Structure 1
């Protein structure tokens, strides 16, 4: 397996793969100044023998662009052995679950999502593709998170809400009402401070 993205995020994903006894063939990164990471060789284009890839880049938009450009590869799911994932949860291709995270019953995680360290996603949540749930963020039951949204570190979302697509939830924000598409929200209770460009 190759990891696409030789960065700090890539280091964490590499160690999950190591714990799962998955052989890492190397990293891929466009930055030609990076030659090795964690003693693995860094290539600057995807090798011809590559079959399995994990996109090890934290930026949601970048992950989407890479996936849409490289659809012929197989994208495994990586789940840290010290996470707690319900056997009734569903995860789609390319998603990664970090150490200490909890995903509860009948939650659905889309393609190429990041469920970061100690994140908590309760029952019946729906997380669409290319979402990043940051460390220590907490989603109560039946929360819907639309494509490309980033839930910041330590943010909290009460039950039953909908977070729009490509929204940004600031660090530590407390979400008590629905968030529209492309909104940037911060604070307790969270308020919209701007809208990102579509």
Structure 2
């Protein structure tokens, strides 16, 4: 059965997630099956790139239209800001709406013990090994590597090229910047930001920005 879906957001990330959606559908259709999803459009009151998204589908309106969606309609939240993503998840959940899981067919995902929370998006060429746990609305971008027994809590963003070793605990609302690295056994506290190219070799407390190699907190 083909599931109707909307993408919340209409910027560059929304277009990237639409690419993932199309890739998922293409695999199904090439195998002679129905497309997994029927894309209805974008949800954004002030789309910053409306001319670019309109070639992919309509902008349906702002958040208020979520209340009018059929309960069978699923959604993905294409918003990088982790706090805003959490608030939108609360809104959609309060309306009884369910989030989809999108995994690009060009991602390498282990077959054993991985758990993907609602709203998780895994982009092309990402690698997820085994027993990795994803909370709600976790975004894993292109060329990310994730090792065994790692946990991502809700609303985590992992930017392109980041590398996360095994047994890492990434708490809610964390952002791992482009090309950052986290060695095994590390805990990163909630709502912290790891800067681009940073190398995390010790635990990072909550609500800080950490940069450099080794990564050190510069903003508290």
Q: Which residue, out of 67, 87, 97, partners 1:65? A: 87
The runs of 4+ residues in structure 1 deviating greater than 4 Å are none
Contact (CA 8 Å) 1:136, 1:155: kept in 2 or not? yes
The answer to which structure has the higher helix fraction is 2
When the two structures are aligned, how many residues end up with a matched partner? 195
Q: What is the TM-score normalised by the length of structure 2?
A: 0.85
RMSD across aligned positions (CA): 1.4
Contact (CA 8 Å) 2:188, 2:205: kept in 1 or not? yes
Task: Give the whole-Å Cα distance in 2 for the aligned partners of 1:81 and 1:152.
Answer: 24
Contact (CA 8 Å) 2:11, 2:47: kept in 1 or not? no
Show the counterpart of 2:32.
none
SS at match of 1:23: strand
Contact (CA 8 Å) 1:36, 1:42: kept in 2 or not? no
Task: Give the whole-Å Cα distance in 1 for the aligned partners of 2:132 and 2:207.
Answer: 23
Q: Which residue, out of 80, 86, 107, partners 1:83? A: 107
Q: What is the TM-score normalised by the length of structure 1?
A: 0.94
Q: For structure 1, list consecutive stretches of 5 or more residues without a partner in the other structure.
A: none
Deviations 1:13-49 (A, max 9, x none): 1111111122211001010673761331002132523
Deviations 1:49-75 (A, max 9, x none): 342111111111111010111211110
Deviations 1:103-124 (A, max 9, x none): 1110101110001101111000
SS at match of 2:119: coil
Task: Give the whole-Å Cα distance in 2 for the aligned partners of 1:99 and 1:116.
Answer: 7
